[in-house]
Amino acid sequence: MNRTAFLWINLVALLLFTPLGFATITSVPAAPNIDAEAYVLVDYHSGKILAQKDMDKRIDPASLTKMMTVYVLDHELQNGRFKLDDEVIISPTAWKTEGSRMFVQAGKKIPVQELMRGVIIQSGNDATVALAEFAAGNEAAFTDLMNQYAKQLKMNNTHFMNSTGIPNPEHYTTARDLSILAQALIREFPETYKIYSEKWFTFNGIKQANRNRLLWREPYVDGIKTGHSSTAGYCLAASGQKDNMRLISVLVGSKTENDRTEQTIQILRFGFRFFETHRLFQANTALNQPKIWMGNRQKIALGINRDLYITIPHGQYKNLEAKMNIDKRITAPVAKGNTYGKLLVKLENQLVAELPLVALEDVSTGSLWSRFSDYVALGLHKMLESKDEIAQSS
Cβ neighbours of residue 275 closer than 8 Å, sequence gap 6 or more: 28, 43, 50, 245, 311, 312, 313, 314
Beta bridge partners of 174: none
Residue 67 lies in a domain: yes
Catalytic member of 63, 91, 100, 249: 63
Residue 296 lies in a domain: yes
**Could you list the residue range(s) of the whole structural domain that residue 47 is in?**
38-278
Residue 28 lies in a domain: no
Residue 381 lies in a domain: yes
Q: Quick check: pTM over 0.95? A: no
Supply the pLDDT for residue 365: 82
Both 121 and 237 in one domain: the answer is yes
Q: Please say if 57 is a catalytic residue.
A: no
- Tell me which of 249, 278, 307 is where a domain ends: 278
Residue 182 lies in a domain: yes
Q: Please say if 225 is a catalytic residue.
A: no
Domain count within the chain: 2
Catalytic member of 53, 66, 179, 249: 66
Q: Please say if 63 is a catalytic residue.
A: yes
Residue 1 lies in a domain: no
Where the chain has pLDDT below 50, the residues are 1-25
pLDDT tens digits for range 217-248 = 999 999 999 999 999 999 999 999 998 899 99
- CATH number of the domain within which 384 lies: 2.60.410.10
**Residue pair 135/82 in contact by the 8 Å Cβ criterion:** yes
- Tell me which of 244, 262, 278 is where a domain ends: 278
Catalytic member of 123, 179, 239, 249: 123
Both 67 and 187 in one domain: the answer is yes
**Residue pair 253/57 in contact by the 8 Å Cβ criterion:** no
Residue 2 lies in a domain: no
DSSP secondary-structure letter at 212? Answer: -
Both 80 and 179 in one domain: the answer is yes
- CATH number of the domain within which 264 lies: 3.40.710.10
Strand, coil or helix: 278 = strand
**Residue pair 89/128 in contact by the 8 Å Cβ criterion:** no
Residue 215 lies in a domain: yes
Amino acid identity of 225? K
Helical H runs in the chain?
A: 11-14, 66-78, 92-96, 112-120, 125-136, 139-152, 175-188, 190-193, 214-217, 257-274, 368-393
CA distances from 321 to 219, 239, 284, 374 (A): 35, 30, 21, 34
Provide the pairing of β-strand 320-326 with 339-347: antiparallel
Supply the pLDDT for residue 367: 73
